[in-house]
Structure formats: structure tokens, C-alpha cells
């Protein structure tokens, strides 16, 4: 069904008072623009973190152009950016990360080198790697609201600490240089598994 038809149906629910706002997940910039012509889209959800920065190419600029909020999921790279995932030994047998290219041993080993550079920055700010990664994300713009996990008290403390962490402009640039997309080893997903990534 075309996105215009889907949004048209959903917009009727807004008019009836059954739905307050409309949001989309993992859409391209073109799809967002088409949807926005039918009804205002309040937010777009998509993966975005230091090691998944595809959103910066097209969807984030489109969101800003159209006044749409952005909700990054997996802001800690599915746990990798916490520094606590070094191999697959801690994964349950049905953990889907086992099949993801970035969580294969060789890719993880190479990406660990990027994390080691980030650790020096975390020491400077006396924070955890997770807090630094989240603070970087929140420094981008105030219309970006990440949704990190909080299954453990430790996670919740990291999240709260990140909200109060201010990173200097120079350090933000340094972090982004470390995690340039071309420095990341392994794809987000296996080829063909996910075809809605914004191009």
C-alpha cells in the first residue's frame, strides 16, 4: 500500500481523536516527504549511533527541513558502544546479533580499536563509554531523542548521567572522526536483510 494511503488512513484517526500524532519507522527521506504532504509526521524512528550514522545522509536533513523529530533506536550500537561486548560468548543462543556482520569476531576485534580511542575521552570526562556515546548523540540537536535500553539500574544511571554530560565542540569532532563510517567494520545487517535503510 502506498505511504500516502497509509498516512491518509492514520490521519482520519487523528481527526477522530483516537490518535494524537503520527510517526514513521526506518523510512527514506523520499517516503517521509510524500507522507508529510498528506499529514504532518511528528517523529521518525531509525537506528542512529556512533557506528550507525547512515541517517546523517538524507533522513536527518529531511526531518529538520520538515520539522519532524528524530528518535534513534539502538543508540549504543546494540550494546557494542558500552565496551562490554567483546565477543559472542555472552549472547543467548537466539540472540539475533550472532548473525549480524558487525558482531562477527573479526569485525568486533577491529571495531574494538575504535572503542579504545574513545576510552581516553571517557576518562577525560570521568564517564562511561555508554554515557559518552549517548551524550554525543544528544549533542547533535534538541530534536533528537534517543531511546536507550534501561533493563538494569546500571543502564538507567548511564542514561541519566549522559543527559547531564556536556562535551566540547572539539571533542565532538574528535569522536566523529574516530567513528567515521568508513572506519566501521561490518555492515549493520546482512545484504538483503534490510532494504529500507535510507539511501
Q: Write out pLDDT tens, residues 130-182.
A: 999 999 999 988 889 998 887 788 878 878 888 889 999 999 999 999 999 99
Residue 57 corresponds to which cell in the numbers above?
A: 545522509
Question: Distance (Å, rounded) from C-alpha 138 to C-alpha 158?
Answer: 13
Contact 21, 42 (CB under 8 A): yes
Buried/exposed 28-64: b ≥16 CB within 10 Å, e otherwise: bbebbeebbebbebebbbbbbbbbbbbbeeebbebbe
15 or 190: which carries more pLDDT confidence?
A: 15
Residue with cell 565532538: 172
What pLDDT, on the 0 to 100 scale, is given for residue 131?
A: 94
157 or 44: which carries more pLDDT confidence?
A: 44
Enter the pTM of the model: 0.87
What pLDDT, on the 0 to 100 scale, is given for residue 193?
A: 60
Segment 6-23, tens digit of pLDDT: 999 999 999 999 999 999
- Of the candidate CATH numbers 3.20.20.100, 3.40.50.180, 1.10.10.10, 3.40.50.2300, the domain formed by 3-195 belongs to 3.20.20.100
- What's the first-to-final CA gap in the chain, in angstroms? 21
What pLDDT, on the 0 to 100 scale, is given for residue 2?
A: 93
Residue with cell 500516502: 4
pLDDT band of residue 194 (cuts 50, 70, 90) is low
Q: Which of 116, 104, 73 is nearest to 189 (CA)?
A: 104
What pLDDT, on the 0 to 100 scale, is given for residue 197?
A: 47
Q: Which of 51, 77, 62 is nearest to 27 (CA)?
A: 62
80: exposed, middle or buried (C-beta count within 10 Å: 0-12, 13-18, 19+)? buried
Contact 32, 63 (CB under 8 A): yes
Q: Which of 28, 52, 65 is nearest to 143 (CA)?
A: 65
Contact 29, 198 (CB under 8 A): yes
What pLDDT, on the 0 to 100 scale, is given for residue 199?
A: 41
Residue 188 predicted with pLDDT over 70: yes
Segment 54-113, tens digit of pLDDT: 999 999 999 999 999 999 999 999 999 999 998 898 899 999 999 999 999 999 999 999
Q: What is the mean pLDDT of residues 34-54?
A: 96
Amino acid at each position: 500500500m502506498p505511504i500516502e494511503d497509509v498516512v491518509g488512513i492514520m490521519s482520519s484517526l487523528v481527526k477522530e481523536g483516537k490518535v494524537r500524532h503520527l510517526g514513521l519507522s526506518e523510512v527514506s527521506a523520499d517516503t517521509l516527504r510524500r507522507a508529510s504532504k498528506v499529514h504532518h509526521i511528528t517523529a521518525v524512528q531509525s537506528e542512529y549511533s556512533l557506528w550507525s550514522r547512515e541517517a546523517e545522509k538524507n533522513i536527518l536533513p529531511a526531518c529538520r527541513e520538515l520539522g519532524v523529530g528524530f528518535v534513534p533506536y539502538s543508540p549504543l550500537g546494540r550494546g557494542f558502544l558500552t565496551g562490554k561486548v567483546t565477543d559472542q560468548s555472552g549472547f543467548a543462543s537466539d540472540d539475533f546479533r550472532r548473525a549480524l556482520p558487525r558482531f562477527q569476531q573479526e569485525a568486533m576485534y577491529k571495531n574494538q580499536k575504535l572503542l579504545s580511542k574513545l576510552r581516553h575521552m571517557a576518562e577525560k570526562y570521568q564517564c562511561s563509554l555508554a554515557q559518552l556515546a549517548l551524550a554525543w548523540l544528544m549533542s547533535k540537536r534538541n530534536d533528537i531523542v534517543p531511546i536507550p535500553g534501561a533493563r538494569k539500574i546500571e543502564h538507567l544511571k548511564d542514561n541519566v548521567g549522559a543527559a547531564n554530560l556536556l562535551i566540547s565542540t572539539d571533542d565532538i569532532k574528535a569522536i566523529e572522526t574516530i567513528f567515521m563510517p568508513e572506519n566501521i567494520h561490518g555492515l549493520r545487517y546482512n545484504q538483503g536483510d534490510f532494504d529500507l535503510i535510507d539511501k
